[in-house]
Amino acid sequence: MSRRVAEKLSQEYYAFMPNRSSKKRLDINELAAQVVDEATGEIESEEEPTSDEGKDPAAVALGRKGGLKGGRVRAERMSPEERSDAAKKAAEARWSKKR
């Protein structure tokens, strides 16, 4: 497929796609300027810093510890029949979603 045909097809495809983002896409020069400004510290990055302020450090550590082993331990404790039922239920939920 030639590049021109591929570009035309992609333009037609995206013409019907919903606009899900309210952010305006930057052109390449604006993006480069933004990257340089962030790297030199002239402007702050727009990313929200993930912070554990106001949270109990012990609870955060315990939650992470449980999250790392939760699914594996749950699967080990289930019988093969229970695991099969859970997998069937998950597959049914996944495939029954409207697209």
Residue ranges of domains in the chain: 57-99
- Greatest alpha-carbon pair distance for the chain in Å reads 59
Query: Which of residues 65 and 18 earns the better pLDDT score?
Result: 65
Q: How confident is the model over 6-60, as pLDDT tens digits?
A: 776 666 666 666 666 656 677 889 888 888 988 888 877 666 656 667 788 887 7
Query: Which of residues 75 and 4 earns the better pLDDT score?
Result: 75
**Residue 15 CA neighbour count, 13 Å, CB half:** 6
pTM for this predicted structure: 0.34
45: Cβ contacts below 8 Å, ≥ 6 apart: 38
Tokens of 21: 């983002």
Contact indicator for 38, 45 with CB cutoff of 8 Å = yes
| Degrees to nearest 5, angle at CA 29 with 6 and 15 | 35
Most confident of 22-31, 63-72, 78-87: 78-87
